[in-house]
A and B are shown apart, each in its own frame.
Chain A
Amino acid sequence: MACGRDMTSYDPRRVRTDTPLMNRVINGHPITYLDSASSSLPPRAVIEAMSRYYELRHANVHRGVFQTAVEATDAYESTREAVANFINAPGGSGEIVFTKNATEAFNLLAKSWGYANLKRGDVVLVSEMEHHANIVPWFQLREVNDVEVRFIPVLDDYRLDLSHIDDLMNGVKLVSVTGMSNVLGTINPVKELATIAHRHGALIAIDAAQSIAHSNTDVAELDVDFLIFSGHKMLGPTGIGVFWTREEILDAMPPFLGGGGMIADVRTDGYVPANGPTRFEAGTPPIAEAVGLGAAVRYLEGLGMANIVRHEHELTKDALDRLSSDFSGRVRVIGPPDTVSRGGVISLDVEGVHPHDVAQVLDQFGVCVRPGHHCAKPLMRRFGLAATARASFGPYSLTTDTDVLIEGLGHAVSMFG
């Protein structure tokens, strides 16, 4: 282990001391960070890995022959290896493409694979609980290829309605759904959806942006075809995302962005794209960010994903229990009320208090929650909401965070009467 951590021990308080931003004081209060669903806080190991890279090894990757260029390339490529292991990619690092973020990875899926493989009338099946990143690129593809974008409905219990899934699958070439809703916390039955998709001859893509740091992700076991996530929601830096697909699919995908790095040859009459992941990595890639992501993966592995899942499950159960009992119905949770197949994302609707005002009052207590539609407007419309105030946990969260949240909510409720 790079940091000498005992593989079997996980203590969220230790994670907290590992995370420099936890020392911030906001409006006179120690920070209560409850916005990990939006972006998680990097541990010192990630920040220092990136600093060390810039201080000792910075150079452009690939083709360099001098020492630091070789080291930079090794560092960049070793993260590909680490990520492949982390998600158990059957084809190894050759199946990992780095993007700017999860959104760019979805654009890569739609504009490369989708453009080449979907034609007029083919259906992309998404769900009503998708992030805009898994909706808008398909609408954009529809403008070009005239594909149909179809939505799996969400039930009143905040779960996908799979009761008519075989009918919905008619004409579907790709199922593209989230592993965990960034608004509801609902964890979707990915393996079951993969079986359904494949039975109908379709492929399946999973938006793992929300689930990647809060569950164990094994693409081979889940039997999915595409997996997309971002670095900054898994304790890594912003500016890097991951696109994974099986090697045979990747090899058949046309290039996405054009430029240096993604070519095998360029002449005055045309170009030949490179093979493998670099075909999709035009331009100087996010090298420091890849180094940071590698450190984040190692850090999460050191904590143990099963430990994180267990801890966040307990935190979520405690928070849901208290939120439902402490405010005599004035605070409503928009998401499953129990912790079965549910992550630590808790969207709140406070009676008579707009989410922006909830968040503003909470900020005075140093509590960071996110108000808004969370880039999931179809889902908001489905439940007749303009916005929610969302609290979300990370591996450093404690029940004391929930204490402060509840205290702040109490102030918001009494202030607006």
Chain B
Amino acid sequence: MSNLEDLYREIILDHYRSPRNRGELASPPAIRVEGFNPLCGDELVVYLSVDNGVLTDIKITGHGCSISQSSSSLMSAAVKGKPIAKVREVIDTFKQLMTVHEATLDHDGEPAKVDLRAIGELAALQGVVKFPVRIKCATLAWNTLSQGLDELD
């Protein structure tokens, strides 16, 4: 059964109240990329500093619900200082965590297991999958980051 405690874990509320890596970076040299969720009005801007194939810094501004804001904060903490290849790996793992389709649901409707130990605090967002309309809130920052990385190519 889906319930609010699954969705609003303490880590999520903490990142919502005190978002990490909040702010801007001078662009250029930083990559600046905007993300919108036109359905609910969430907006964010992600700034990326990349040096020698490493994401040396990331800052995020914008506004949105607790899920989108905490997800962007958790994301920034998870990817900052990582090599780009590793960042892409984390993005892929997170997207897997957010993907629900019949093949990944067992008969109780529970999502398939992603190796939660490998993703640390991000695991707090797994409850979002039980609230399908909120998945787009959780993935906004990640899609925006992804778009930013594509600009590197």
Across-interface contacts of B7 in A (CB, < 8 A): 360
Across-interface contacts of B119 in A (CB, < 8 A): none
- Name the distance in Å between A40's Cβ and chain B's nearest Cβ: 22
Pairwise interchain contact A364-B66, C-beta atoms closer than 8 A: no
B residues 1-40 in Cβ contact with A at 8 Å? 3-4, 7-8, 13, 16-17, 39-40
| A373 CA / B17 CA spacing, docked (Å) | 23
Pairwise interchain contact A372-B40, C-beta atoms closer than 8 A: yes
Pairwise interchain contact B134-A356, C-beta atoms closer than 8 A: yes
Q: Which residue of B lies closest to A411 (CB)?
A: B4
- Name the distance in Å between A334's Cβ and chain B's nearest Cβ: 14
Across-interface contacts of A373 in B (CB, < 8 A): 40-41
| A415 CA / B16 CA spacing, docked (Å) | 12
A residues 401-417 in Cβ contact with B at 8 Å? 415-417
Across-interface contacts of B40 in A (CB, < 8 A): 356, 371-373, 387
Q: Does B57 contact A (CB under 8 A)?
A: no
| A354 CA / B134 CA spacing, docked (Å) | 13
Interface size bracket, A side: 10 to 19
Q: Does B98 contact A (CB under 8 A)?
A: no
| A356 CA / B66 CA spacing, docked (Å) | 8
Q: Give the contacting residue for B134; candidates A360, A372, A415, A417; CB below 8 A.
A: A360
Pairwise interchain contact A364-B4, C-beta atoms closer than 8 A: yes
Q: Give the contacting residue for A417; candidates B17, B67, B131, B137; CB below 8 A.
A: B17
Pairwise interchain contact A386-B43, C-beta atoms closer than 8 A: yes
Across-interface contacts of A190 in B (CB, < 8 A): none
A residues 344-383 in Cβ contact with B at 8 Å? 353-357, 360-361, 364, 371-373, 377, 380
Q: Give the contacting residue for B4; candidates A354, A372, A386, A415; CB below 8 A.
A: A415
Majority DSSP secondary structure for residues of A touching B: mixed
| A184 CA / B17 CA spacing, docked (Å) | 29
Pairwise interchain contact B63-A386, C-beta atoms closer than 8 A: yes
Across-interface contacts of B8 in A (CB, < 8 A): 357, 415
| A192 CA / B28 CA spacing, docked (Å) | 54
Across-interface contacts of A386 in B (CB, < 8 A): 41-43, 63-64
How many residues on B have C-beta within 8 angstroms of the other chain's C-beta atoms?
A: 21
- Name the distance in Å between A356's Cβ and chain B's nearest Cβ: 4
| In the complex with contacts A364-B4, A386-B63, A416-B66, A356-B137 CB distance below 8 A | yes
Q: Tell me which of B7, B13, B39, B65 has the highest count of chain A C-beta atoms within 10 A of its own C-beta.
A: B65
- Name the distance in Å between A357's Cβ and chain B's nearest Cβ: 5
| A356 CA / B64 CA spacing, docked (Å) | 9
| In the complex with contacts A356-B137, A357-B65, A387-B41 CB distance below 8 A | yes
Across-interface contacts of A361 in B (CB, < 8 A): 4
Across-interface contacts of B63 in A (CB, < 8 A): 386
| A377 CA / B65 CA spacing, docked (Å) | 17
Across-interface contacts of B66 in A (CB, < 8 A): 353-354, 356-357, 416
- Name the distance in Å between A104's Cβ and chain B's nearest Cβ: 21
- Name the distance in Å between B114's Cβ and chain A's nearest Cβ: 23
| A230 CA / B36 CA spacing, docked (Å) | 30
| A101 CA / B67 CA spacing, docked (Å) | 33
| A417 CA / B43 CA spacing, docked (Å) | 23
| A275 CA / B124 CA spacing, docked (Å) | 63
- Name the distance in Å between B37's Cβ and chain A's nearest Cβ: 10
B residues 58-94 in Cβ contact with A at 8 Å? 63-67, 69
| A377 CA / B39 CA spacing, docked (Å) | 11
Pairwise interchain contact B39-A372, C-beta atoms closer than 8 A: yes
| In the complex with contacts A364-B3, A372-B40, A354-B64 CB distance below 8 A | yes
Across-interface contacts of B13 in A (CB, < 8 A): 415-417
A residues 302-356 in Cβ contact with B at 8 Å? 353-356
| A373 CA / B40 CA spacing, docked (Å) | 7
Pairwise interchain contact B17-A354, C-beta atoms closer than 8 A: no
Across-interface contacts of A356 in B (CB, < 8 A): 40, 65-67, 134, 137
| A372 CA / B67 CA spacing, docked (Å) | 15
Across-interface contacts of B17 in A (CB, < 8 A): 417
Across-interface contacts of B41 in A (CB, < 8 A): 372-373, 377, 380, 386-387
A-B contact pairs, 11 of them (CB 8 A): A356-B134, A356-B137, A357-B66, A360-B4, A360-B7, A372-B40, A373-B41, A377-B41, A386-B41, A415-B13, A417-B13
Apart from A360-B4, A417-B13, A417-B17, 4 more pairs, CB < 8 Å: A355-B65, A357-B66, A373-B41, A387-B41
Residues of B within 8 A of A (CB): 3-4, 7-8, 13, 16-17, 39-43, 63-67, 69, 131, 134, 137
